[in-house]
Amino acid sequence: MGVEAIAREKFEIFNHKTYINSCSQAALAQEVRAAYNAYLDGLVEFGSPWETWVGVQENVRSLLGQILGAHADEVAITTSASAAVNAIASCFDFDKGPSQILTTSLEFPTVGQIWHAQERRGAQVVHLPAGSDHRVTAQQVADAITSDTAIVSVTHVCYRNGAMNDIKAIVEAAHGQGVPVLVDAYQSVGAVPLDFAELGADFVVGGLLKYMLSSPGVGFLLVNSATAAEYIPTTTGWFAARDIFAMDINAFDPAKDARRFESGTPNVPSLYAAQAGLGLLLEVGVSNAWDVSRQLHEELRVGVEALGGTVVTPSGSGAHGPMIAIATTDEHALVNSMAADGVIVSSRDGNLRVSPHFYNNSNDVEIVLSALKTNRHLLV
């Protein structure tokens, strides 16, 4: 675990907490903290350095492309995944074209709520139920697509239980029937290797505050230049224009590349944090980070099973993401009890969520397991 040993000292929270909650928020790196100071220093020295800020955004775009296997012109910078999904939704005229939105029971509220909001514009939302392994199969998707299906919208990793869908197979199934695919990769990007070109999806959305080591305020949308060029959003803003400094109020002239999905003034302070976090992640390497996490996942599974607990996250290569979910009788009581002992985790849907990243180690896992042993009465 050379990567973890080198990088851990950059994250000061480990001086006083056992932090293993990256599915909610990354541990704060010294470089990210310093980036906010760099933004403030620029305000003091220059007042309004817009050229610098635009340069930071373009660097974030380039870094995301490098990490996710996308061309820079396929990357839109947004303020959140919600902003990205709303922009995609605005591309469709559900009253005049196909009206069915095919999604799943595994989605984060952002996705489900935005799609259901489109019912006011004529959309019909269908949720495919997950199987006993908390996953949706490509065959389910293929069988559910009809001539009225406008888009398939599916999560890569479920935020409630850590189950991971076979996205490439789902994309192939949907594309085989001429239907575009949106992937919510928020709970996987930065932790699990993802290559946009290889995946083949039309759209991928996510954010930088979790395994991508940054902070709230920056999301992204990957737009497949080969398959999604026809989609033009009506949710827009001046940063989506072909020339953002043209200041033309008499026409809608969106960028030809993925920038057309952007909106108004970006969250500049968070872009500084994003630049620093993504730079650190590139230095570590997502594949190296995933190697560390996978080992810790196995240690967690063995330890929980030894306590008589239940891991609800499916096992096996390709079946789960960077989070391990553990069944509880009272998720909030367990999270609070562990926090009182300095162990920071989270919960959803009756499950405790333990989410290591490259900066965690086996000692962190032992501390988690010790806290679970103390609270054995709250495990199922």
How crowded is residue 97: how many other Cβ atoms within 10 Å of its Cβ?
A: 10
List per-residue pLDDT tens for the chain, 380 residues long.
456 555 799 999 999 999 999 999 999 999 999 999 999 999 999 999 999 999 999 999 999 999 999 999 999 999 999 999 999 999 999 999 999 999 999 999 999 999 999 999 999 999 999 999 999 999 999 999 999 999 999 999 999 999 999 999 999 999 999 999 999 999 999 999 999 999 999 999 999 999 999 999 999 999 999 999 999 999 999 999 999 889 899 999 999 999 999 999 999 999 999 999 999 999 999 999 999 999 999 999 999 999 999 999 999 999 999 999 999 999 999 999 999 999 999 999 999 999 999 999 999 999 999 999 999 999 99
Pairing of β 219-223 and β 203-207: antiparallel
How crowded is residue 343: how many other Cβ atoms within 10 Å of its Cβ?
A: 22
Domain locations along the chain: 2-28+286-378, 32-281
Pairing of β 346-348 and β 219-223: unpaired
**pLDDT of res. 171:** 98
pTM: predicted TM-score of the whole model, two decimal places: 0.96
**pLDDT of res. 7:** 79
**What span, in angstroms and rounded, lies between the C-alpha atoms of 33 and 273?**
7
Per CATH, which fold does 32-281 belong to? Aspartate Aminotransferase; domain 2 (3.40.640)
Q: Pick the closest to residue 352 from 360, 343, 341, 361 (CA basis).
A: 343
Looking at domain 2-28+286-378, does it have CATH number 2.60.40.150? Answer: no
For the chain, what is the HEC assignment?
Answer: CHHHHHHHHHEHHHHCCEECECCCCCCCEHHHHHHHHHHHHHHHHHCCCHHHHHHHHHHHHHHHHHHHCCCHHHEEEECCHHHHHHHHHCCCCCCCCCCEEEEECCCCHHHHHHHHHHHHHCCEEEEECCCCCCCCCHHHHHHHCCCCEEEEEEECECCCCCEECCHHHHHHHHHCCCCCEEEECCCCCCCCCCCHHHHCCCEEEEECCCCCCCCCCCEEEEECCCCCCCCCCCCCCHHHECCCCCCCCCCCCECCCHHHHCCCCCCHHHHHHHHHHHHHHHHHCHHHHHHHHHHHHHHHHHHHHHCCCCECCCCCCCCECCCEEEEECCHHHHHHHHHHCCEECEEECCEEEEECCCCCCHHHHHHHHHHHHHCHHHEC
